[in-house]
């Protein structure tokens, strides 16, 4: 038993503290296992905000790093404990406190798994739109901390649009409740959304108040097979330009569909080199109208094949396979690094061309998939080998992809966050003045620099 473990057991029960080597190894990384630096020195499993506060106060007094963690499904190394310290596993704080149908809001603890939350909402014909692909396991606290998105972002937006209030434990152990259950508020600085997307660097999110929507009456899935990735990108731009707003509009290359087909009962015909997987939702008449418009656009721009999926089970299987695309690719290659560049939607064709050129020039396979309806593309570097030479090419590809996104007026992350995977690039987007302002805010809220140090900007802490 470590000395840190002994101290934590004075604050929590024995079962709420882990400090055996084998247990700690499980907390050394998130889904980006290749970014693991070191294991934490101990894991604390709080059951309440009071537990969180007690742990934070102890860490603050002793200047021990604290890394909040949800399900560990992130793709940016956000909950990777690069300086050891305490990982705070929030999964046991998983109560759905309230679903208020009359106010169209909910209050949940940070450890609530998103898929479970939506299953409960559907019983009342309600809907929480944010849908990161890890929704079967990811937690709402982690979603809020990273401003998570997903395929539905094109029509419904990402997590921050639905957060109306939070409960947050600050780095000195005090508890604040910015925002609330109202869907409009104009009262002082917007601290609610300062903590939304802060990646655990400013405090620990223990509860969230969330805005809900009515469950859509109807939906239809459409698959367009395209002769090239460039054609698929042009169709995306035209759909948006024509004012059609699908609930989901996903871009996939042939390799991705081939991988998905291994998990689909009725495989998608491989008649093209790139594919658009789309869903329209809303009232029955609206769905029918938007479906016809999309078919017309795809036909007019020469899509090889267009399928309107009439079987709901098939539709569910296609979207489920899409949500599993990252682990599917992991089974086909030695390593997979998924980027998260978002560009203006009219710039998608040019981004596709640039990514293809980067892969060709470096002679490495770069897959393409993404939430094309909102410009959030996921160029994916697929390692055919694990070697220093390939790793160098992959690093160069990452840099060139990010540079291309920024040159097209984009952002280096649309939904995954920065963590440690992209902290060396953030100043390229925001510049020194904005980064300095972020560090100043961090310094005021977390003067000891204990909250998730080393994340978002490269050197970590509050150093200038």
461 pLDDT tier (thresholds 50, 70, 90): very low
Tens of pLDDT, residue by residue over 227-256, are: 999 999 999 999 999 999 999 999 999 999
Same domain? 202 vs 151: yes
Same domain? 63 vs 126: no
Q: List, in sequence order, the alpha helices (H) in 363-418.
A: 388-407
Same domain? 222 vs 304: yes
Same domain? 120 vs 80: no
DSSP for 15-35? GGEE-SHHHHHTTS-SS-GGG
Same domain? 251 vs 313: yes
Give me 313's structure tokens: 């089970």
Residue 363 falls inside a structural domain:
yes
Same domain? 382 vs 302: no
Give me 316's structure tokens: 């569910």
| Residue 309 and residue 290 in contact, taking contact as beta carbons nearer than 8 Å | no
| Residue 68 and residue 81 in contact, taking contact as beta carbons nearer than 8 Å | no
pLDDT for position 459: 58
Residue 53 falls inside a structural domain:
yes
Residue 416 falls inside a structural domain:
no
Checking phi first, is residue 438 left (phi over 0); if not, alpha (psi -120 to 50) or beta? alpha
35 pLDDT tier (thresholds 50, 70, 90): confident
Instruction: Tell me if the pTM is above 0.85.
Output: yes
> How far apart (Å, rounded) are the C-alpha atoms in residues 373 and 344?
10
> How far apart (Å, rounded) are the C-alpha atoms in residues 112 and 96?
7
| 325, 355, 373 - which closes a domain | 325
Residue 68 is classified by DSSP as E
The enclosing domain of 53 has a CATH number of 3.30.43.10
The enclosing domain of 361 has a CATH number of 3.30.70.2740
Same domain? 224 vs 297: yes
Owning domain of residue 428 = 423-464
Same domain? 108 vs 67: no
Alpha-carbon Rg for the chain, nearest whole angstrom, is 22
Residue 417 falls inside a structural domain:
no
> How far apart (Å, rounded) are the C-alpha atoms in residues 403 and 347?
14
The enclosing domain of 156 has a CATH number of 3.30.465.10
Tens of pLDDT, residue by residue over 369-404, are: 999 999 999 999 999 999 999 999 999 999 999 999
Same domain? 227 vs 165: no
pLDDT for position 146: 97
Q: What count of Cα atoms within 13 Å lies in the side-chain half-sphere of residue 353? A: 8
- C-alpha angle 441/446/449, rounded to 5°? 115
The enclosing domain of 299 has a CATH number of 3.30.70.2190
Q: What count of Cα atoms within 13 Å lies in the side-chain half-sphere of residue 207? A: 22
| 214, 247, 281 - which closes a domain | 214
Task: List, in order, residues 6 or more apart from 201 with CB less than 8 Å away.
Answer: 442, 446, 451, 452, 453, 455, 456
pLDDT for position 362: 97
pLDDT over 70 percentage in the chain: 98
Same domain? 374 vs 398: yes
Residue 415 falls inside a structural domain:
no
pLDDT for position 1: 66
Per the structure, how many domains does the chain have? 5
Give me 320's structure tokens: 């489920």
pLDDT for position 463: 37
Residue 414 falls inside a structural domain:
no
| 73, 89, 105 - which closes a domain | 89
Same domain? 136 vs 236: no
**Three-state secondary structure along 255-308?**
HHHHHHHCCCCCCCCCCCCEEEEEEEEECHHHHHHHHHHHHHHHHHCCCCEEEE
Same domain? 191 vs 242: no
> How far apart (Å, rounded) are the C-alpha atoms in residues 182 and 92?
27
Tens of pLDDT, residue by residue over 282-327, are: 999 999 999 999 999 999 999 999 999 999 999 999 999 999 999 9
Give the SS3 label for residue 335. strand
Task: List, in order, residues 6 or more apart from 127 with CB less than 8 Å away.
Answer: 118, 121, 212, 213, 214, 215, 216
Segments of 330-432 assigned E as strands: 335-338, 341-342, 366-371, 376-383
Which residues, listed in sequence order, are joined to residue 369 by a DSSP beta bridge? Answer: 252, 378
| Residue 276 and residue 368 in contact, taking contact as beta carbons nearer than 8 Å | no
Residue 155 falls inside a structural domain:
yes
Residue 126 falls inside a structural domain:
yes
Task: List, in order, residues 6 or more apart from 408 with CB less than 8 Å away.
Answer: 343, 344, 347, 350, 351, 354
């Amino acid at each position: 038993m470590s000395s840190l473990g002994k101290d934590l057991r004075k604050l929590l029960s024995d079962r709420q503290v882990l400090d055996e080597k084998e247990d700690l190894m499980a907390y050394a990384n998130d889904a980006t296992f290749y970014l693991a630096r070191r294991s934490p020195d101990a894991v604390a499993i709080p059951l309440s905000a009071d537990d969180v506060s007690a742990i934070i106060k102890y860490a603050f007094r002793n200047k021990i790093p604290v890394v909040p963690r949800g399900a560990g499904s992130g793709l940016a190394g956000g909950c990777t404990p690069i300086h050891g310290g305490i990982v705070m596993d929030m999964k046991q704080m998983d109560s759905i406190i309230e679903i208020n149908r009359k106010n169209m809001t909910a209050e949940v603890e940070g450890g609530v798994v998103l898929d479970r939350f939506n299953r409960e909402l559907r019983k009342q014909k309600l809907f929480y739109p944010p849908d990161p692909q890890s929704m079967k396991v990811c937690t709402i606290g982690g979603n809020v901390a990273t401003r998570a998105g997903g395929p539905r972002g094109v029509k419904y937006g990402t997590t921050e649009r639905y957060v109306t209030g939070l409960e947050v434990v600050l780095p000195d152990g005090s508890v604040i409740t910015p925002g609330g259950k109202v869907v409009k508020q104009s009262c002082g600085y917007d601290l609610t959304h300062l903590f939304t997307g802060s990646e655990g660097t400013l405090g620990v999110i223990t509860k969230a108040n969330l805005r809900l929507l009515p469950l859509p009456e109807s939906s239809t899935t459409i698959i367009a097979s395209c002769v090239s990735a460039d054609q698929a990108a042009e169709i995306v731009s035209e759909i948006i330009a024509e004012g059609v707003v699908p609930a989901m509009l996903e871009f996939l290359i042939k390799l991705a569909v081939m991988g998905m087909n291994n998990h689909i009962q009725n495989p998608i015909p491989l008649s093209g080199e790139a594919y658009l997987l789309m869903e329209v939702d809303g009232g029955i008449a609206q769905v029918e109208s938007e479906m016809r418009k999309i078919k017309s656009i795809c036909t007019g721009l020469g899509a090889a094949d267009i399928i309107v999926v009439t079987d709901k089970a098939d539709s569910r299987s296609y979207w489920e396979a899409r949500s599993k695309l990252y682990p599917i690719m992991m089974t086909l290659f030695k390593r997979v690094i998924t980027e998260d560049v978002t560009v203006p939607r009219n710039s998608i064709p040019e981004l596709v061309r640039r990514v293809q050129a980067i892969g060709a020039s470096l002679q490495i396979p770069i897959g393409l998939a993404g939430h094309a309806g909102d410009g959030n593309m996921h160029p994916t570097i697929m390692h055919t080998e694990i070697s220093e030479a390939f790793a160098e090419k992959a690093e160069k590809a990452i840099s060139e992809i990010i540079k291309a996104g920024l040159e097209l007026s984009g952002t280096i992350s649309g939904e995954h966050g920065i963590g440690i995977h992209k902290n060396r690039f953030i100043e390229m987007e925001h510049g020194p003045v904005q980064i300095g302002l972020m560090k100043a805010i961090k310094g005021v809220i977390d003067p000891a620099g204990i909250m998730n140090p080393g994340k978002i900007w490269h050197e970590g802490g509050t150093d200038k």
